[in-house]
Amino acid sequence: MQRYVLTGTPGAGKTSILRRLGELGYGVVEEAATAVIAQAQGRGEDQPWTRAPFIDEIVALQRHRQLEATGPVQVFDRSPVCTHALTTYLGWPVSPALAAELERITSQGVYERHVFFVRNLGFCEPTAARRITFKESLAFEKIHEESYRRFGYELIDIPAADLAHRVATVQSTIANALPQTPAQ
């Protein structure tokens, strides 16, 4: 089983790439933080990212989704390393739950060591879950790079381009990494 991660700054187009890959038959897993935010906002909590349990809720959902994912090739919109970047960005200490999950994914080699780093598009559109300026998103992008490198991942740059080109780059990289079967 191969598990790939799409990461990068908010608003870079990760979700669009992920959805297109899903349409093409890849096993895909949506971003956990957005789901946690939507659920909290549905309960009337406007800014759930301002409370410490937010991080552990993301970690729990990421783990659950990773363990439930199916298919020989899976693509994840973010991973616990992104949650580490978020914790760093917020200036919070790493929680015991996040530390344990980072240890688990590292020691078990849960995700491929090559991570798709989706570069910003030159803007960041705000949403109910994404209330970050473009300037802030660039700082967050840098923290993501640092977090992935810190945990030993190699970044595969997915530059700003049209969706078809970005998806083709991801597909090509995955295809080249798949084990080749000998000709009969």
Query: How do residues 9-40 score in pLDDT, each as one tens digit?
Result: 888 999 999 999 999 999 999 999 989 999 99
184 found inside a domain: no
Give dist(CA 167, CA 180) in Å, integer.
21
CA-based nearest residue to 172, from 99, 116, 88: 116
Q: Tell whether 182 is covered by a domain.
A: no
pLDDT, tens digit, 9 for 90 and up, residues 40-84: 999 999 889 898 899 999 999 999 999 999 999 999 999 999 999
Whether 94 is in a domain gets the answer yes
How many structural domains is the chain composed of?
Answer: 1
Q: Is residue 183 part of a domain?
A: no
Q: How far is CA 103 from the centre of its chain?
A: 17
- CATH number, residue 65: 3.40.50.300
Domain interval for residue 56: 2-177
Is 84 a member of any domain?
A: yes
DSSP code, position 21:
H
pLDDT at site 182: 43
Q: Is 31 within the bounds of a domain? A: yes
pLDDT tier, 124 (very low <50, low <70, confident <90, very high otherwise)? low
More reliable by pLDDT, 4 or 10: 4
Residue 111: pLDDT over 50? yes
Query: How many alpha carbons lie under 13 Å from residue 162 in its C-beta half-sphere?
Result: 2
pLDDT at 76: 97
Q: Are 11 and 121 in contact (CB under 8 A)?
A: yes
**Domain assignment of residue 124, yes or no:** yes
Work out the percent of the chain whose per-residue pLDDT is above 90: 73
Confirm whether 122 is domain-assigned: yes
Alpha-carbon gap, residue 131 to 113, rounded angstroms:
30
Arithmetic mean of pLDDT, 130-137: 76
The pLDDT, as a whole number, for residue 129 is 65
The DSSP output letter for 7 is E
Sheet holding 27-29, edge to edge: 27-29, 73-77, 2-8, 114-118, 154-158
When pLDDT is cut at 50, 70 and 90, the band that residue 178 belongs to is: low
Across the range 107-115, mean pLDDT stands at 96
